[in-house]
Amino acid sequence: MKWNALLIFVISLMLVMLTSNCDENPYKQGKIMYNYFCANCHMEDGTGLEGNIPPLAQADYVKENQDKLACIIRYGQNEEIVVNGVTYNNPMAGIEELSDFEITNIINYINHSWGNDYGYMKYEDVKSSLEDCKPEY
C-alpha cells in the first residue's frame, strides 16, 4: 500500500517534469512535494490551524528562521514556538525520506508562495544546515 502510493507519486512527478517547460514556475516540484508531504497539516494555502499547526504563509517564524527550515523538515520540531504572536507546542515528526535537493525545492516553494517573499534558498545552504543539525545516533 505504502509502495503503491510512492509509485504513483514518482510517476506523477515524472509526468509533471516531462510536461513542464522552463519558463513556468521553477518551484513546481517543490509545490508537488509540499502538497504531498506538508499540506495535510500546514494546509495547501500554508495557513495551518491556529493554535495547533503553525502557518507557513506570511509567517514571521519562517522569515526569521531560514537557517532552521531544512532541519525542521528532516528532523521535525518539538518545542514551544511563537508564530505571528500565537504559541504552538505540538510535535512535528521529521520527514526523513526527502533528499537535500527536495528539501531545497520545498523551501523555495514556501519562500515564494502565498505572498511570501523570503528569498532564494541555495542547495549548499540546505546541505550545510543539515550537517549542523545531524543527530548523533
Tell whether residue 79 is a contact of ligand HEC (CB under 6 A): yes
Q: Output the CA–CA distances (angstroms, integers) from residue 2 to 9, 27, 37, 50, 96, in the order listed.
A: 11, 26, 14, 30, 15
Residue 65 CA to chain centroid, in angstroms? 13
Tell whether residue 66 is a contact of ligand HEC (CB under 6 A): no
Whether 126 and 103 have beta carbons less than 8 Å apart is answered as yes
Provide, rounded to whole angstroms, the least separation between the CB of residue 14 and ligand HEC. Answer: 20
Tell whether residue 13 is a contact of ligand HEC (CB under 6 A): no
Tell whether residue 71 is a contact of ligand HEC (CB under 6 A): no
Q: Site residues (CB under 6 A) for ligand HEC?
A: 37-38, 40-42, 53-56, 59, 61-62, 69, 72-73, 77-79, 81, 83, 88-90, 92, 95, 106
